[in-house]
Amino acid sequence: MPENSQILNLIELFCQEKEIAESTFGLRAVNDGKFVGRLRAGKGITLSTLKTIEKFFIDNKFEIDKSLTQPQTTFDSAKSGHSATNKTEPHFRFYDNRQKYLLFVNTCSEKWAVANRVGQELSRLKIRSPALRVFDAGVGDGTVLSRVMRHMHKLHPNVPFYVVGKEISLEDVRLTLEKLPDRFNEHPASVVIITNMLYSEAPKLFPRDKENQSQLNWGEVALEGNSAHEFEEQISNLDDRITYGWQVRTSQKTGNPVYVRPSVLVLYRKDHSLLMDNIIPRVGSVMTDYNLVIASQPFRLRASLDLKIKKILAPLVRSLAPGGRLVAIQSHGGDPGAEIINRVWADERPFIHNRQILLEGLRKEIGLGSTGFNFGAGSDRNSLFRYVMHTLPSEIGASIGTSTLMAAWNAAVYVAQIEDKRLEMTMSSNDYLEHTAASLRKHNGLWFNDESFVVSRRGRP
């Protein structure tokens, strides 16, 4: 039987090509709108259901063995236990593995810790009319942003919010949208914008390339009602719309997912539209200077310094308003998670560019304009913070359960971004579990270090 990830990959590609929601696929293919959700949750699939899906693909003229990007697997090879040759395998990255990502975020407290760290900057912001402007450079599942917005409301209950979130993952956009109804209910004067554009484009909500400009997919949703339940119903009905807008393809140059069409989704409450008319963005008329930029894990650890600086950090820093602050966060190492990695791979050094290196490169990239910014590396005491893997006191002892060991191993290799090929070889024996158990016992659990740094723009707002 094929792995769920192989089947899900096919389904995602089919939905992108046919421009339908995954729930629609489930209804049409197997008469079950929740089929794909169950598959993501790890439910198995029978051979008869597999054949039904295969027939559905064939009937809809979906070329199974030509459509996969990662990993490239046909149904015939999956049934026999062998995979077809994958020409794009070198581009497959562990960091993008959906199942491992979900296991990590649901067993570790990083999202909470990051939100608390970002929250420390809110009282330092210098805000000017007409709104508190926030840019989240990688929304993920929306946990960090929603928690930060709660903190924003506590400090500024009567200030309009203008919040832009960049996210290319369709599934993460769905998860983020699920968290917004309560935010609109508690803080009615909010405009939330989600976009899939590049770091250099997203703050301005406008693509650089002329061809992409002509394909700009701009949507505006004025939510009606005055309760979180009503907002949730309307946001849930956007599934087909975001499925169309958040289609991706694989870059032949880098292997990264890139958007098929640049998309912007603007949400606000209709009963506050008159009050916020001057901050609701329109094509060609948007606010491009931000009081706060959140850059939590915006790049892969092993990405080049040039890419981290020129493609990501520099554009974000330039989008700051006078008095604005960018909070950047990345994995640091020097923790039990890194210890597990070095027990298995003694020479592994995934944390190659610390905050001092990044800030120095950022100064050079900005050049003469760097005098207009403050670059705060800070001491380790102020810059490093810890998050943990959730465990019960009884789970760390003489005999550690397999599920706890697997969750700890997954978290360690996820943070270190170890690719799947190396994992497959290592996991052919149980040594990796013994190393994981040894570290858990030594430290009575598992925790990780993140490091943060702040860049602020000088001047009065």
Helix (H, G, I), strand (E, B) or coil at 363: helix
In this prediction, residue 5 carries a pLDDT of 67
Q: Which two tokens stand for residue 49?
A: 């259901």
In this prediction, residue 398 carries a pLDDT of 65
Give how far the C-alpha of residue 346 lies from the chain's centroid of Cα atoms, to the nearest Å: 29
What tens-digit pLDDT sequence spans the chain (461 residues)? 455 667 877 887 888 777 787 888 889 999 988 888 888 777 778 888 888 898 898 888 876 544 333 333 334 433 333 333 333 333 334 345 778 888 999 999 999 999 999 999 999 998 999 999 999 999 999 999 999 999 999 999 999 999 999 999 999 999 999 999 999 999 999 999 999 999 999 999 999 999 899 999 999 999 999 999 999 999 999 999 999 999 998 776 667 788 999 999 999 999 999 999 999 999 989 999 999 999 999 999 989 999 999 999 999 999 999 999 999 999 999 999 999 999 999 999 999 999 999 999 999 999 988 999 999 999 999 999 999 999 887 788 767 888 999 999 999 999 999 988 889 889 988 899 999 999 999 999 999 999 999 999 998 87
In this prediction, residue 436 carries a pLDDT of 96
Contact indicator for 155, 162 with CB cutoff of 8 Å: no
d(CA 48, CA 54): 10
Rg of the chain, C-alpha, whole Å: 23
In this prediction, residue 96 carries a pLDDT of 54
User: Within 10 Å of residue 280's Cβ, how many Cβ atoms?
Assistant: 19
**Nearest CA among 11, 42, 16, 9 for reference residue 403:** 42
Identify the helix (H) or strand (E) that includes residue 110.
Answer: helix 110-122
Contact indicator for 79, 2 with CB cutoff of 8 Å: yes
Q: Which residues pair with 295 in a beta bridge?
A: 328
In this prediction, residue 23 carries a pLDDT of 82
In this prediction, residue 63 carries a pLDDT of 63
In this prediction, residue 18 carries a pLDDT of 79
**Nearest CA among 316, 312, 318 for reference residue 298:** 312
In this prediction, residue 11 carries a pLDDT of 87
What is residue 85's DSSP assignment? P
In this prediction, residue 257 carries a pLDDT of 84
In this prediction, residue 425 carries a pLDDT of 87
- H helix runs in 247-312, sequence order: 305-306
d(CA 323, CA 321): 6
In this prediction, residue 421 carries a pLDDT of 82
Q: Which two tokens stand for residue 150?
A: 């709660």
In this prediction, residue 64 carries a pLDDT of 56
